[in-house]
Amino acid sequence: MRPGSPDPSDASSNLQGLARRIRTLRERRGLTQEDFAERCAISVSFVSLLERGERNPSYDTLLQVAAALELPLWELFRLEDAEDAGAHRLVELVRVRGLGRGDVDRLLAVADLMFSGSPGAATPAAREPVPASCTAPDCGRPVLARGWCTAHYHRARRKKAPSQGTPPGSEGAP
């Protein structure tokens, strides 16, 4: 916020932004207004007013809100970019699962391989890029393995399985 006396329209806009942010953070944690109010030690009606931007919270209330959401106070005022709209889900996964630095590094390595389109330089064997959609005629569904969608992949596996234990030509016999 800018120093000096705030423009009333800026103050209202900032309050609405804070209200939306508090509601979004509460919902992301799967908290009802009742649960949230209990954690904050405030009334449900005040939570409702706060989330609609109809009440200006005190510093103490903001501290209670941040503690109830298990966040540092500054996180309540952070503006979200459209680009980082899904990042909160990853942060929440790390927090809920109690993942450490090594776990996060492994997740990032897997994600890098999944989304790079080609294997990294550290991969010794060069592989062909995996097609994005099933190679079966007129299918187009996402690929599971070997260039096929889930249905085509499992059909191919079922065709191979009977031939290992049954003589050829008796696959369909009762």
Domains in the chain (CATH in brackets) are 9-78 (1.10.260.40), 131-165 (no CATH)
pLDDT number for residue 165: 47
Residue with tokens 């970019």: 81
Q: Tell me which residue of 45, 47, 43, 53 sits closest to 18, measured CA to CA.
A: 53
> Can you give the C-alpha Rg of the chain in angstroms?
26
pLDDT number for residue 40: 93
Could you give the C-alpha distances from 146 to 117, 136, 149, in angstroms and in order? 15, 11, 9
pLDDT number for residue 93: 81
> Which DSSP letter does residue 76 get?
G
Residue with tokens 């509601």: 23
Residue with tokens 């492994």: 106
Q: pLDDT digit of tens for each residue in the chain (174 aa)?
A: 445 555 666 777 888 889 999 999 999 889 999 999 999 999 999 999 999 999 999 999 999 999 999 988 888 887 765 555 567 677 778 888 888 888 888 888 888 888 876 554 444 444 455 567 788 888 878 776 777 787 887 788 888 765 544 444 444 444
pLDDT number for residue 19: 92
Are the C-beta atoms of 48 and 57 separated by less than 8 Å? Answer: no
pLDDT number for residue 158: 81
Tokens of 166: 């049954």
Instruction: Work out the burial of residue 160: count CB atoms within 10 Å of its CB; fewer than 13 is exposed, 13-18 middle, 19 or more buried.
Output: exposed
pLDDT number for residue 47: 94
pLDDT number for residue 169: 44
